[in-house]
Amino acid sequence: MAYERKNIEAMQGYTSGEQPQDAKALKLNTNENPYPPSPAVADALARFDVSTLRRYPPPHADEFRRAAAAMHGMRAANILATNGGDELLRLCVTTFIEPGSALGVANPSYSLYPVLAAIHDCPVRAADLESDWSLPGSFAAQMNAGGAKLTCLVNPHAPSGHLTDVQALHAIATDLDGVLLIDEAYVDFVDPAIGYDSLELVRSHDNVILLRSLSKGYSLAGLRFGYAVASESLIEPMLTKTRDSYNLDTIAQRLACAALESRGYAQDTWRRVREERTRLRRALEDLDLPCPASQSNFLLAARSEDSSPAARDIYEALTTRNILVRHFDHPRLANRLRITVGTPQENTTLLEALAKIV
């Protein structure tokens, strides 16, 4: 006899990127930073007093909240620390979407969004992206017409890497009837010359939440640490009502603080990733795998529909060579491969394999 709720029984769960058992595999499928965390993080872990684990961790991660607030020119009341960005997404769905109301998204986008909506038993209102992966001009109107109480946008967009500018986001936030969550998991890799600064949106809008993550930019995907930047009116109900008690363990909080304190180290890895992103994109184009301009730490390589081998075949051929990239079973992505930017040597190994395959 099945005891699960009907919507849970009917839904499909989230499919994460393949995690290889072979340590020698070239893993370019889940957008991790190719460089290790800051030595300050390793030092904080080495100095950690295990005896403190007998006590519960600080419930609100206040030390981290103060550090993040200082870094962003905000107050601690504008920061919420979460167990990865995914916990923040779940909190936003739980806190801001009434039963039966809708979650708004772009299509295609992060595949966890519809999973969280299905768990919450709420419909999804999706607006198709333009051919260049930009948002349609009617995006906010479509979300309002669909009754979306929470709208999630990845920026830079996944899986294309396209960056929506702050002016466009300001217009969307102004026009939306509900909350706008801007998922900035990859924002650390945006070219500084662009001058992208979304923090002004939080200062000028009470319906904007910025999602930030230490997984990508700070090389801490295995730690599971994210945070929100938003008005106090949005942070407070999640902090005091819907958040799990003691949601972040003591070790994670210490290491996250160490990562922020050594931000200069992380910034150097971002620069190195951007340099390799440029080289890799040019090389992929020479292999008839053109990519749109990306402001993330990955590229979305396209294969023309009449080319052989097709994108799926290239993906499988790379897998047999112990090289993992990402292929999505989505109509607009079927002829594309998402490739994480690796180290120079990793990227060269990938390119050499692709040259033989294509």
> How confident is the model over 128-165, as pLDDT tens digits?
999 999 999 999 999 999 999 999 999 999 999 999 99
More confident residue, 89 or 2: 89
Per-residue DSSP letter, 214? S
Task: Name beta bridge partners: 209.
Answer: 181, 230
% residues pLDDT > 70 (the chain): 100
> How confident is the model over 40-96, as pLDDT tens digits?
999 999 999 999 999 999 999 999 999 999 999 999 999 999 999 999 999 999 999
Contact 120, 93 (CB under 8 A): yes
Q: 3-state SS string over 3-19?
A: CCCHHHHHCCCCCCCCC
Residues 6+ apart with CB under 8 A from 174: 205
Contact 294, 158 (CB under 8 A): no
Structure tokens at 194: 């662009």
Structure tokens at 159: 């899986």
> How confident is the model over 176-212, as pLDDT tens digits?
999 999 999 999 999 999 999 999 999 999 999 999 9
Largest CA distance in the chain: 62
C-alpha–C-alpha distance, residues 92 and 234, integer Å:
9
pLDDT of 1 strictly over 70: no
Label residue 121 left, alpha or beta by phi (over 0 means left) and psi (-120 to 50 means alpha): left
HSE-CB for 241 with a 13 A CA cutoff: 10
Residues 6+ apart with CB under 8 A from 355: 287
Task: Name beta bridge partners: 81.
Answer: 227
Per-residue DSSP letter, 241? I
Architecture of domain 39-261: 3-Layer(aba) Sandwich (3.40)
Query: Would you state the pLDDT for residue 313?
Result: 96
**Spans of all domains in the chain:** 19-36+264-357, 39-261
Nearest to 253 by CA among 88, 89, 82: 82
> How confident is the model over 12-44, as pLDDT tens digits?
999 888 888 888 899 999 999 999 999 999 999
Query: What is the CATH number assigned to the segment(s) 19-36+264-357?
Result: 3.90.1150.10
Label residue 238 by pLDDT band (50, 70, 90): very high
pLDDT of 322 strictly over 70: yes
Place of tokens 């990239």: 325
| Neighbour tally for 151: CB within 10 Å | 29
Place of tokens 């929506």: 164
More confident residue, 356 or 17: 356
Nearest to 302 by CA among 191, 195, 160, 189: 160
> How confident is the model over 264-300, as pLDDT tens digits?
999 999 999 999 999 999 999 999 999 999 999 999 9
CA distances 268 to 37, 227, 263, Å, are 11, 22, 9
CA distances 296 to 100, 126, 342, 343, Å, are 34, 23, 12, 15
Q: Mean pLDDT over all residues of the chain?
A: 97
Residue 277 amino acid letter: R
Could you tell me how far CA 192 lies from the centroid of its own chain?
Answer: 19
pTM of the prediction? 0.96
pLDDT of 241 strictly over 90: yes
